[in-house]
Amino acid sequence: MSVHDSLIKIYNNQDAGYWVLIDPDKLPVEKIPGFMDQLIKGEIDAILIGGSLILNSEFEYFVGEVKKHSDRIPVILFPGSVHQVTPKADALLFLSVISGRQAHHLIGNQVLAAPLVYRCGIETIATAYMLIDSGRQTAAQFMSGSMPLPRNKPDLAVAHALAAQYLGFKLIYLEGGSGADLSVPEEIISAVRKTVDIPIIVGGGIISPEVAAAKVAAGATFIVTGNVLEKTDDADLIHKFSSAVHSRHS
Ligand code: 1GP
């Protein structure tokens, strides 16, 4: 089964999934086996690897090490640039920053990446990436050179999400930005959920299992956390997040 098929299965069952974003700059390679062990025990559903800007020159090696220790958890690239393409992962979110109007981030980078992706033979999942205002400028906003969508205008988010669906995107990513002060508002998630019928990823600034559960209740299909696990001393936090996300049906 392709990674996309497995995501659609979760969506069609009206379940939700918990994904963890790993920034290669923040996890030393020697700590990968221990961290992966925690993720497997915490019953997460997918691993994202990527970042707006990665200084770690061993990207491909890093992804290979994560994959080696990932057991059956899919490893999905979440590239911030064309330099983050490698066949070592299971799939790649083929992103377009549709909230912006920067041609380079809408189609230019994708044209540069396409031959690399073709040579890799990696599965691609076309993903409409929408930056939502989160209180202050995030790295994703700065690097994309684009304005985020206002957080108090759900209709604008809905129109973008509909356009994405009509253009054939497979996933929508509502992004507050890594380390965001404010996560994506539930009003935006539920308005988009009511209108489009493709899975919705929500990430950025989700700092507790309760907040994750609220996003799922609003209609998120997949919840992404990154920073919060880098800062915690709570060994059980991963499991608390996955239980909160998986509890949609309980
Ligand atoms: C960024 O949504 C992810 O794309 C994760 O954000 O690091 O704030 O959890 P955080």
The span from the CA of 62 to the CA of 59, in Å, is: 5
pLDDT at residue 54 in the model: 86
Answer yes or no: is 55 within a domain.
Answer: yes
pLDDT tens string 16-55? 999 999 999 999 999 999 999 999 999 999 999 998 888 8
Does residue 249 carry a pLDDT above 80? no
Query: What are the backbone angles phi and psi of residue 99, rounded to the nearest 5°?
Result: -75, -20
Residue 13 has a pLDDT of 93
| 192 occurs within a structural domain | yes
Q: How far does residue 9's CA lie from ligand 1's centre (Å)?
A: 24
> Which string of DSSP letters, residue by residue, matches 94-119?
EEEETTS--HIIIIIHHHHHHHHHHH
Confidence of residue 232 (pLDDT cuts 50, 70, 90): confident
The span from the CA of 180 to the CA of 77, in Å, is 21
Structural domain harbouring 234? 3-244
The rounded percent of the chain whose pLDDT value lies above 90 is: 91
Question: How much is the pLDDT for 235?
Answer: 80
For residue 149, what are the β-bridge partners? 132
Q: Does some domain include residue 250?
A: no
In a domain? residue 155: yes
Span 215-233, average pLDDT:
94
Cα(39) to centroid of ligand 1, in Å? Answer: 16
Within-domain flag for 70? yes
3-state secondary structure 157-195: HHHHHHHHHHHCCCEEEEECCCCCCCCCCHHHHHHHHHH
Pick the residue with more confidence: 97 or 234? 97
Measured distance CA(157)–CA(173) in Å, rounded: 11
Over residues 135-189, the pLDDT tens digits come to 989 999 999 999 999 999 999 999 999 999 999 999 999 999 999 999 999 999 9
Per-residue pLDDT averaged across 203-210, rounded?
Answer: 97
Average the pLDDT over 187-209 and give the result. 98
Ligand 1 pocket member 226 (CB < 6 A): yes
What angle is formed at CA 190 by the lines to CA 184 and CA 196, rounded to 5 degrees? 110
Give the span between the Cα atoms of 172 and 199, in whole angstroms. 6
Q: How far is the CA of 160 from the centre of ligand 1 (A)?
A: 21
In this predicted structure, the answer to whether residue 57 has a pLDDT above a threshold of 80 is no
Examine residue 86 and state whether it is found in any structural domain, yes or no.
Answer: yes
For the chain, the average pLDDT equals: 95
- Number of compact structural domains in the chain: 1
Strand ranges, E, within 71-179: 75-77, 91-97, 123-131, 171-175
pLDDT of res. 250: 53
Question: Residue 96 has which token pair?
Answer: 């377009």
For residue 104, pLDDT beyond 60 = yes
CATH assignment at residue 193 = 3.20.20.390
Burial classification of residue 235, based on how many CB atoms lie within 10 Å of its CB (0-12 exposed, 13-18 middle, 19 or more buried): exposed
- Position 53 scores a pLDDT of 85
Query: Is the beta carbon of 127 within 6 A of some atom in ligand 1?
Result: no
Minimum-distance ligand 1 atom for the alpha carbon of 179 = 8
Separation of alpha carbons 142 and 12, rounded Å: 35
Listed residue (235, 127, 221) closest to 171, CA to CA: 127
* Cα–ligand 1 centroid distance for 64 (angstroms): 22
C-alpha gyration radius of the chain: 17
Which pTM was predicted? Answer: 0.97
Residue 249 within any structural domain of the chain: no
